[in-house]
Amino acid sequence: MQEAQSVSVKKKRKGLTLKAQRNLIGYLFVLPALLIFCIFVLIPLIMSVYLSFFESDMFFLSMEYVGFDNFAQVFQDSLYWTSILNILCYTLMAVPMNIILSMILALLVNSDRRGVKAYRFLFYLPSVTSTVAASTVWLWMMNTSYGLLNDIFALFGLPGGTWLTHSSTALVSVTLVTVWQGVGANMIIFVAALQNMPTQVYEAAKLDGAGPLTIFFRITFPLIAPTMYFILTMTLIGAFQLYDQIYVLTSGGPANATLTPVYLIWQNSFGTNAGRQAGYAAAQAFVLFLIIMIVNLLIRRLDKKVNG
Amino acid sequence: MKKLLGLCLSAILALTAVFGATACSTTSANDYSEYTDDGRLILTIWAPDQYANATIRSRFQAWLDDFNETDKIKELGVYLEFSPFTQLPTTLSTACISGPHMMPDIVIWDRFATPSNTTYLMPIDDLLEEDNIDTSVFLDEAYDELTVNGSQYGLPLDADPWGIYVNMDIVNTYNDQNSASAIDVDSLDTWSELIDAADKLTIRDGSNVTRSGLNTTSADGQFFSFVYTGTGELIDTDENSSAYGDTVMSTDSADIFTDGESMRVYDTLAFFKELYALNLCNTGHGGTDAFGNGLLAMTYGSIYFPQELSSYSIKNYKMLPYPARDLTYINVNTEQGAHGESLVASETDSTGMQNGQVGGMLGGYGLAIPQPVMENMRTDEWRSHVEKAWEVIKLWLLDDEMNESYFTANEVITCRSDLWNNAFYTENTGVIGDILPYLENYKMRPSVAGYEVFESSIVRADIQMLKEGSLTVLATYEKIRDDGNALLRQAQGRS
């Protein structure tokens, strides 16, 4: 009996090493996330690239292979390039504004003073508010006749803004809303980075007579550069994917001034222009993916140059 | 070992995905029917967001409750329930990919959106043939709006003419104070008369408009109506034409001012520029609120607009058809620049295009039966629902008594033109009575793939730029033509 047991133990050891057992447990933990990632990200991504070579509806029912025709069409589509131009303008406004403001707020709330936590909570609150709900409130606030913002302007004898109703102000107005909503999340990340700073470096700088500005530019800024790079990358990707605020605030108007690539892709896939446009929308999405990737590679290169 | 483990994990992943997808696709296509306590099959109706308006919804629900209690519907053994949806086509497409258990049995469908959504609407040609339905009783254009590539995707429900709503209290007050230049609303038949009346009814405090004469903030959405009442078209819908599906706008710059179709579009753009330049509307006076609260004298609306207005104090208003074109901006003041840019309209239509008509754009809904996208989801159970849904549609639209009950209860116009002689229509003293005499001059928007996005993303956007002064009339014309043709060709799968 004992002999039989020892044989079975030996066999077991032969079958699965301790390292493999540990790996197996690891894989099992990762499995649910991997499944979700594959079903909702990887498979749709591959399908979308595949779809971009076909003229098709969303249900793959009547697919006709068109080669690179959809991509050729993307490069001739003035609406698509209007949307790309819009998103570049938006990115140039929103990303620096978001990072600078979140950094300033982070510096302001990075202390142990009384009441600071309440401010952190207040600044972070818009980030946890539903985008649709917040945008609907802003829609009312920016109403040119009844809106709160123009009422405030009127109190000071200033003329009201056109906000979302004019093509020259609509994108700026949308930017204000998205920055208001996004700044809190980045502030929290900056605060986390600031709280991990080595205090002795600051003490040494102070002993050497460095002022607050010198400390910020010579110590704080270089030390939070990796965090800055992370925030820049994430904010940039988020900016290029702007959709929900546009859906609620402007529907891409007026005069396509706030039309964004993702909104246009949605329109082609599910919206007013749906039909046999799913393949074309997939091609538009793929081109957008390439643009985002190129921009990120450029930033990465820049980061390497600056920070080594 | 690592390879084996990776293989196993991949297999698990693949099996989970396959079983998950299979489970999603088949289990719910059967055994989803629900019944009332008295054994009637419950059929669901989905309606677009307009039906979410409190008044429209309550009227529809009240009619549906009555309909459910009729002997005819009881004999069919069905009970109808309804829900309104925003973004109905999007929601419906998701439902149709999910299966019959998620789908409605009948959909009140915006006919305008039919060409882009045929995947999940069931063709009813066989049903029409089997039951030998006389489709000639329906308004031809409304019926055709549900026809795509020779297949019929539903039957038309209502004729929804759009027109200009006039606040008669404002007009009467103006007329009392200005008897010498009184406005005769009953003969507001031309573009010139519309401009004149709008200007008279506008109250300005410097450059600030405190009461708007005419809603120009949403005029871009009415472009088709004005082109049409100018006897023009926007899209070539002649299937025998080599330019079928394109805009009618000439691509040869020399022809723009000599080709009739092109000139009519150009004239309408120039007319819009004049409307914008006259400062007739405060930017905040574009909605129902402004009209309902007396801040706007004239606005655009459909036959459903009175139901939206019912919650406001305004009661004395009239609906007018879009006025006819009586002036051209071509060949005037060319010494000051391009045609029409000077904004001085000629009283004489030198090109002989004075056949303008009062009418406008006709919208409306149809009743359609959705279908599951996947063939394997079209189960016997779903087909039994389809049979019942079709019987309900026939009862609703083709039974004279039921048809009349629906339209009188909801105060809209039926697409059954053979019923327009009924007392409800001929003796109507509301907006239906206002507009019925002109209904024959109304026209549907072009039924070609891509038209919806052409109108929303190209026409409206470019007119907004004209309004803001960033495009001239000619540049707007060229941009609508070039971008429009590219988009239409792409949507229609043409090179």
Tokens for B457, please give them.
């993303």
Put simply, the answer to whether B462 touches A275 (Cβ < 8 Å) is: no
Angle at B472 between CA B471 and CA B474, to 5 degrees: 120
Coil/strand/helix, residue B48: strand
Under 8 Å CB-to-CB from A24, ≥6 apart: which residues?
Answer: A16, B5
Name the residue of chain B whose CA is nearest to A39's CA.
Answer: B17
B282 inside 8 A of chain A by CB? yes
In-domain check, residue B472: yes
Question: Is residue A77 within 8 Å of B458, Cβ to Cβ?
Answer: no
DSSP A162: -
Judge: A145–B1 Cβ closer than 8 Å, yes or no: no
Q: Note whether B74 and B218 are same-domain residues.
A: no
Least confident of A251-260, A298-307, B431-440, B468-477: A298-307
Closest CA to A281 of A83, A15, A18, A20: A83
Question: How much is the ipTM here?
Answer: 0.70
Is A76 in contact with B486 (Cβ distance < 8 A)? Answer: yes
User: In the predicted model, is pLDDT for residue A8 greater than 90?
Assistant: no
What's the rounded Cα separation, in Å, for the pair A53 and A32?
A: 31
Same domain? For B187 and B318 the reply is yes
pLDDT of B298 reads: 97
Residues in B 106-165 with any Cβ partner in A closer than 8 A: 113, 115-119
Q: Give contacts of A77 with chain B, Cβ < 8 Å.
A: 486-487, 490
- Give the tokens for residue B348: 């004489």
Nearest to B211 by CA among B296, B324, B88: B296
CA distances from B263 to A275, B273, B331, B357, B360 (A): 32, 15, 11, 17, 19
One domain for residues B437 and B448: no
Partners of B46 in beta bridges: B83, B107
- Whole-model pTM over 0.95: no
Helices of type H across B293-399: 305-309, 380-398
Q: Are residues B237 and B318 in the same domain?
A: yes
Averaged pLDDT, A32-37: 93
Under the banding of pLDDT at 50, 70 and 90, the label for residue A192 is very high
Q: Is residue B295 part of a domain?
A: yes
Do B200 and B349 lie in one domain? The reply is yes
What pLDDT, on a 0 to 100 scale, did the predictor assign at position B1? 55
pLDDT at B342: 40
Distance CA B97, CA B371 (A): 9
Q: Are B120 and B92 in contact (CB under 8 A)?
A: yes
Asked whether residue B292 is assigned to any structural domain, the reply reads yes
Q: Does domain A69-307 have CATH number 1.10.1670.10?
A: no
Residues of chain B contacting A21 with CB distance shorter than 8 Å: none
CB-based contact B111:B364 (threshold 8 Å): yes
Taking Cα atoms as reference points, which of B271, B291, B309 lies closest to residue B477?
A: B271
- Contact in structure between B491 and A273 (CB atoms under 8 Å): yes
Q: How far apart are CA A178 and CA A98, in angstroms?
A: 9
* Contact at CB, A252 and B457, closer than 8 angstroms: yes
Domain ranges (residues) in chain A: 2-51, 69-307
B330 and B247 share one domain: yes
Which residue, B205, B197, B142, is CA-closest to B172?
A: B197
Q: In chain B, how many domains are there?
A: 2
C-beta of residue B247 within 8 angstroms of C-beta of residue B476: no
Q: What is the mean pLDDT of chain B?
A: 86
Query: Is residue A42 within 8 angstroms of chain B, CB to CB?
Result: no
How many other β-carbons are positioned within 10 Å of the β-carbon of residue B278?
A: 16
User: Considering only CB atoms, which chain B residues are within 8 Å of A61?
Assistant: 119, 373
**Single-letter amino acid code for the residue at B174:** Y
Strands (E), B322-398: 360-363, 365-368
Cα separation, B463 vs B466, whole angstroms:
5
Residue B212 belongs to what H/E stretch? strand B208-214
- Any CB–CB contact under 8 A between B460 and chain A? yes
Instruction: Say whether A275 and B115 touch across the interface (CB within 8 A).
Output: yes
The answer to whether residue B24 sits within a structural domain is no
Averaged pLDDT, A148-174: 89
Say if A267 is an interface residue toward chain B (CB within 8 Å): yes
End-to-end CA distance of chain B: 54
Range of the domain at B102: 41-159+363-441
| Rounded Cα–Cα distance for residues B199 and B216 (Å) | 12
Q: What is the pLDDT of residues B302-318, one digit of tens each?
A: 999 998 898 898 999 99
Q: A145: closest CA among B262, B486, B489, B281?
A: B281
Co-location of B349 and B367 in the same domain: no
**Mean pLDDT in residue range A213-235:** 90
Query: Can you tell me the distance from the alpha carbon of B212 to that of B436, in angstroms, rounded to the nearest whole number?
Result: 27
Distance between alpha carbon B357 and the CA centroid of its chain, in Å?
20
CATH code, domain carrying B277:
3.40.190.10
pLDDT at site B450? 83
Whether residues B260 and B337 fall in one domain: yes
Instruction: Name the minimum distance, in Å, from the CA of A80 to any CA of chain B.
Output: 11
Q: How far is A145 from chain B (nearest CA, A)?
A: 5
Provide the b/e sequence for B325-352 (b: ≥16 CB within 10 Å): bbbbbbebbeeeebbbbebebeeebebe
Both tokens of residue A124?
A: 């972070």
> Is B181 found in the same domain as B255?
yes
Shortest distance, CA A72 to any CA of chain B (angstroms): 11
On the question of pLDDT at A242 being above 60, the answer is yes
CB atoms A275 and B449 under 8 Å: yes
Using the Cβ of B208 and the Cβ atoms of chain A, whether some distance falls under 8 Å is answered with: no
Amino acid identity, residue A92?
Answer: L
The per-residue pLDDT string of chain B (495 residues; one tens digit each, 9 = 90 and over) reads: 556 555 555 555 555 555 555 444 444 667 889 999 999 999 999 999 889 888 889 999 999 999 999 999 999 999 999 999 887 888 898 899 889 999 999 999 999 888 878 888 999 999 999 999 999 999 888 898 899 888 999 999 999 999 999 999 999 999 999 999 999 998 888 888 999 999 999 999 888 899 999 999 888 889 999 998 877 889 998 888 888 889 999 888 777 777 778 888 988 999 999 999 999 998 888 888 899 999 999 999 999 999 889 889 899 999 999 998 877 777 654 544 555 444 344 434 444 344 456 788 888 999 999 999 888 899 999 999 999 999 999 999 999 999 999 999 998 999 998 899 899 999 998 999 999 888 888 888 888 888 888 898 899 999 999 998 889 999 999 999 999 998 888 878 776
Measure Cα distances from B52 to B42, B43, B84, B308 in Å.
21, 19, 5, 11
**Is residue B307 domain-resident?**
yes
Q: Are residues B368 and B322 in the same domain?
A: no
Distance of alpha carbon B471 from the chain centroid: 27
Per DSSP, the three-state class of B168 is helix
Q: Is A244 exposed, middle or buried (0-12, 13-18, 19+ CB in 10 A)?
A: middle
**φ/ψ of residue B446, rounded to 5:** -55, 135
Q: What is the pLDDT of residues B229-288, one digit of tens each?
A: 877 889 998 888 888 889 999 888 777 777 778 888 988 999 999 999 999 998 888 888
Q: State the pLDDT at residue A273.
A: 62
**A254–B452: do the CB atoms touch at under 8 Å?**
no
Residue at B18 is within a domain: no
Given a contact cutoff of 8 angstroms between Cβ atoms, the answer to whether B50 and B308 are in contact is no
Answer for the pair B476, B458: CB distance below 8 angstroms, yes or no.
no
Would you call B91 an interface residue with chain A, using a CB distance cutoff of 8 Å?
Answer: no
Please report residues of A whose CB lies closer than 8 A to that of B457.
79, 252, 256, 259, 267, 273
B347, B374: one domain? no
The reply to whether B78 and B115 lie within a common domain is yes
Rounded to whole angstroms, the Cα distance separating B425 from B91 reads 35
Q: Which pLDDT score, from 0 to 100, does residue B175 have?
A: 96
Q: Does A83 touch chain B (CB under 8 A)?
A: no
Chain A contacts in chain B segment 382-401 (CB below 8 A): none
Q: Is A307 on the interface with B (CB under 8 A)?
A: no
**Of the candidates B119, B284, B483, which has its C-beta nearest A143's C-beta?**
B284
Task: Write down the residue that tokens 């459903």 correspond to.
Answer: B304
Asked if A276 is an interface residue toward chain B (Cβ–Cβ < 8 A), one would say: yes
Residue B329 vs residues A36, B20, B266, B338, B388: alpha-carbon distances, Å: 62, 64, 8, 10, 56
